[in-house]
Structure 1
Amino acid sequence: MSKKRKPLPEQPIEVEIESLTHDGRGLAHLEGKAVFVDGALPGERVQARYTRLQRHYDEAAVVAIERPSPERVAPRCPHFGVCGGCRLQHLAAPAQVRVKQEILQEVLARIGKVTPETWLAPLSGEPWGYRRKARLGVRYVPKKGRVLVGFRERRSAFVTDLTRCDILHPAVGERIPAIAAALQDLSIRERLPQIEIAIGDGPAVLVFRVLDPPSADDLARLAALGEETGLHIYLQEGGIETIRPLPGQAIALHYSLPHHQVRIAFEPSDFTQVNLQLNRAMVDQALGLLDAQPDERVLDLFCGLGNFTLPLARQAGAVLGLEGDAGLVARARRNAEHHHLANVRFEVADLYGEGALSPWLEGRFDKALLDPPRSGALAVLEWLPRLGVQRLVYVSCYPATLARDADRLVNDLGYRLVAAGAMDMFPHTDHLEAMALFERAEGR
């Protein structure tokens, strides 16, 4: 028999907010118990109402601010607080960057038991209109009599009723009502659950996921949406292999890294960084830290389309990019051929399996770059000293696994954590990316 939930107290509590948690909530303590408060900022005194009671902590939401933080700002978006697309619009953009650097410091010390010799200045850029990759939910709501298009509501499966989105690239963010109106009259409006957005240097692609085949009238309405807005319309009826443009809507997606004379072509379903401005700064910083020389061999793990590999090939003597997705590897090879880069090779490799790097043990690598997913790179770390890697740049999209892997590199494998810093790839969200530089200790 399931336990009955304890009823929530009706009276608000008054608490002092001590810090910001990794998911963007204010942390307070009441009678020794942690309370996570939605909508609160460090240094504030707030009234909050409980939303959930747990054994070791409670959750609450702000109902009144008794003493606001000097870094509190009015959220730009009218949907803030409901939409799950971002959580930090009430905190000034420079403060968001500072807080993310502080969270990285805390996570590296607590989980990794490491402190860098030098802190890199955080990377940040334009905080609005930056997002070029996203997934929007679509839902026809009979009670409203219309289709909603937007991010999911915070802690809910419902779709936010967006009128615009200021973190999305304006090509899409300013056209959400037009997109929703075009879907309103489709025969399959209840069988179209999501839209994938993909934008490079040029126009935007919208990939509509459809669970039933669209009618001829549906296709005509979607084509008209593309013609009226300049958006390029694609359909996806099954897996990613079914993605196809409507007639006349195909476009060759690409983005450039101008400091390295590199242009990277990609497909709508491929992983690319959501923030092109930050990606360019990130590549510049990573290559500067790695400092590859013409007589050196460099290993790029989790290389994807070659976002770092291709620029590295402009500097190093030879570069090997390894990636688990065969489709990405095929497109990375085409990107290398397009640039006539004969000193770079891409191969498919399971970077999570036993003996992940054993096929390449016959070679030596002077330096390496790792850009793993959230799960980190633990399975390949032990191979790095065996391959002779003396300098390593680690690009992370999840600080907890970076910290875990830093612990292994520094405390077990003989590397020093030379430098680390946060990257604000997703302004106004609690998402934190980071970069770290490791060097092999002398005599190891």
Structure 2
Amino acid sequence: MQKGEMIECGVEALAFGGDGIARVDGMAVFVQRGLPGQRVRARLTLVKKRFAKAVVEEVLEQTPHFVEPQCPHFGVCGGCVWQDLAYSEQLAWKSRQVSDALARIGGVEPEMLEPVPSPAVFGYRNKMEFAFAGGRADEPLRLGLHARTEPGRKGQGAVFDVERCPLCSERTMDVLREARLLCQESGIAAYDPASGRGYWRHLVVRHTGTDQLMAHLITADDPKLHKDAARIVEALHASIPGMDSCVHSSRRSRNTLAFGERVHHVSGSKYIEERLLRGDTAVRYRISANSFFQTNTQGASDLYDAVLHMGGFSADQTVLDLYCGAGGIGLFLAGVVRRVVGFELSPDAVRDAYANARMNGLENCEYHAGSLEDGLNLDSLPRPDVVVCDPPRSGMHEPVVKALLALRPKRIVAVSCDPATLARDCSRLAPQYSVVRAQAVDLFAHTHHVETVAILERADFD
């Protein structure tokens, strides 16, 4: 096989990341846009000794699980990869990918509980991050999403003007369209991370389950242009009915993260509110412009509920909540345990966590700010009965793993958005801890992403 060659193959499985998997002459071929059950004609884009990559050029035989995608941008947009696959199949493959990663990378085969589906498969996103591009010479300013990366290329695809996204609300799209028009009328160009020139960077829109709306305009740090951003923020707030908050912040780092480093202007409230249900009890969360919160509100309730029930919590327990953000999981558990102690890198998130605890009338929560890359000060910690750990996609920092082994809690509840790093962390905690149960929880229908809750028991704990 050679790069550029056309092949015919049957797609047998789905790889984590979204590609289909076929076998040609005994070699694994990762097929972009391929679905299990399809027979396709595909063009090879990469050939290595042990595997190859290809992209579908023609579907010769269709899978019985094919469905018509609802998005007019599907196939162009880099967001959804499986909108043409029946949702029941998406869910089954995600659970299988979690199980495979735990076995292949972690060397463990826990009891796999039935996967938890997203309560809604369209209109579920409470947050959308849109990117700016263009605005120079004859190139119009664009505000939308990144296109799929072309096969064989690295990095993000070009920004295109998205006109409809069935994953978010129509109110979110109204904000996008109005912001695009206002920024185009300004005559100011988008920021180019390669050159460091330009101004507009991102627009983040949040539409919560409580029907509150926030727009966060992120720009480069150019004081001469901040008055233009303030004017647009005020105009956006005035033009969108029911808009609760509009925020302008700037960012100096060339990293393309949609995160503001310094707030310059706020029109309306500084915060909006989200609520998750724990049984009949509503747990309230204050959301600021840079707050982390799960992007699927109803799905987040299901995820935290899975943590609650799988973790076997009781009223006499002390829970250590690592990578706690603005209190997320710990606040959800605080009503059923004796004490919650949270750790988080961001001082702003810790302040939000305390505010959220007060808002819920909780007096058994305490929070500490500090980098978990440096580990934990064991002398200052209570001896936890259970540790809840929900790290970023890269997984637990090595010093955290060492601290957990020294603390020796009876149980660790590991929450992860990446099955591979979860499996790696489970192997690091062995043999002192065994993974006894795991469950895939889908918060990201039509994408390859999945959350997992895994229960690790100390080996000498009966």
Instruction: Call closer, same or farther: CA 1:334–1:416 in 2, change over 3 Å.
Output: same
> C-alpha deviations, 1:20-69, integer Å up to 9, x for none?
11111111122333322111111211111233444543322212111111
Say whether 1:397 aligns with 2:450. Answer: no
Rounded to whole Å, the distance in 2 between the matches of 1:339 and 1:43 is: 49
User: What are the within-5 Å matches in structure 2 for residues 5-404 of structure 1?
Assistant: 8-9=4-5, 12-140=6-134, 146-155=140-149, 156-173=156-173, 175-190=175-190, 191-200=199-208, 201-211=210-220, 212=222, 213-214=224-225, 219-230=230-241, 231=243, 232-238=245-251, 240-246=260-266, 248-259=267-278, 260-354=281-375, 356-360=376-380, 363-377=382-396, 378-404=398-424
Kindly state the Cα deviation for residue 133 of structure 1 after the two structures are TM-superposed: 2.4
Rounded to whole Å, the distance in 2 between the matches of 1:26 and 1:241 is: 39
Determine helix, strand or coil for the equivalent of 1:270.
coil
Instruction: Call closer, same or farther: CA 1:421–1:275 in 2, change over 3 Å.
Output: same
> C-alpha deviations, 1:124-149, integer Å up to 9, x for none?
22011112223211123568763322
Kindly state the Cα deviation for residue 98 of structure 1 after the two structures are TM-superposed: 0.8
Say whether 1:426 aligns with 2:440. Answer: no
Kindly state the Cα deviation for residue 206 of structure 1 after the two structures are TM-superposed: 1.8
Aligned AA for 1:434?
Answer: T
Rounded to whole Å, the distance in 2 between the matches of 1:254 and 1:134 is: 16
> C-alpha deviations, 1:364-423, integer Å up to 9, x for none?
2211211111121243234335434112211101111110112233x321x232211111
Determine helix, strand or coil for the equivalent of 2:353.
helix
Rounded to whole Å, the distance in 2 between the matches of 1:324 and 1:217 is: 33
Aligned AA for 1:233?
Answer: C
Determine helix, strand or coil for the equivalent of 1:17.
strand
Instruction: Call closer, same or farther: CA 1:34–1:205 in 2, change over 3 Å.
Output: same
Runs of 4 or more consecutive aligned structure 1 residues displaced over 6 Å after TM superposition: none
Aligned AA for 2:177?
Answer: P
Rounded to whole Å, the distance in 1 between the matches of 2:345 and 2:250 is: 25
Rounded to whole Å, the distance in 2 between the matches of 1:219 and 1:301 is: 37
Kindly state the Cα deviation for residue 173 of structure 1 after the two structures are TM-superposed: 3.1
Q: Tell me the TM-score normalised to structure 1 length.
A: 0.89
Kindly state the Cα deviation for residue 218 of structure 1 after the two structures are TM-superposed: 6.3
Rounded to whole Å, the distance in 2 between the matches of 1:233 and 1:324 is: 26
Aligned AA for 2:33?
Answer: G
Aligned AA for 2:275?
Answer: S
> CA RMSD for the aligned pairs?
2.4
Q: CA contact under 8 A between 2:431 and 2:459: conserved in structure 1? A: no
Q: Tell me the TM-score normalised to structure 2 length.
A: 0.86
Q: CA contact under 8 A between 2:14 and 2:35: conserved in structure 1? A: yes
Rounded to whole Å, the distance in 2 between the matches of 1:51 and 1:313 is: 51
Rounded to whole Å, the distance in 2 between the matches of 1:340 and 1:202 is: 23
Determine helix, strand or coil for the equivalent of 1:168.
coil
Aligned AA for 1:427?
Answer: A
Identity %: 31
Q: Compare 331-340 and 81-90 and name the one that shifted more.
A: 331-340
Aligned AA for 2:108?
Answer: V
Rounded to whole Å, the distance in 1 between the matches of 2:180 and 2:143 is: 6
Q: Compare 341-350 and 193-202 and name the one that shifted more.
A: 193-202
Q: CA contact under 8 A between 1:120 and 1:421: conserved in structure 2? A: yes
Rounded to whole Å, the distance in 2 between the matches of 1:225 and 1:297 is: 46
Kindly state the Cα deviation for residue 80 of structure 1 after the two structures are TM-superposed: 1.0
Kindly state the Cα deviation for residue 252 of structure 1 after the two structures are TM-superposed: 2.2
Q: Which residue of 2 aligns with 1:437?
A: 455
Which residues of structure 1 form unaligned runs of 5+?
1-5
Q: Which residue of 2 aligns with 1:417?
A: 435
Determine helix, strand or coil for the equivalent of 1:205.
strand
Q: CA contact under 8 A between 2:276 and 2:297: conserved in structure 1? A: no
Q: CA contact under 8 A between 2:411 and 2:457: conserved in structure 1? A: yes
Give the total of aligned pairs: 432
> C-alpha deviations, 1:169-217, integer Å up to 9, x for none?
3321355433322222113243313212234334222222223444767
Determine helix, strand or coil for the equivalent of 1:96.
helix
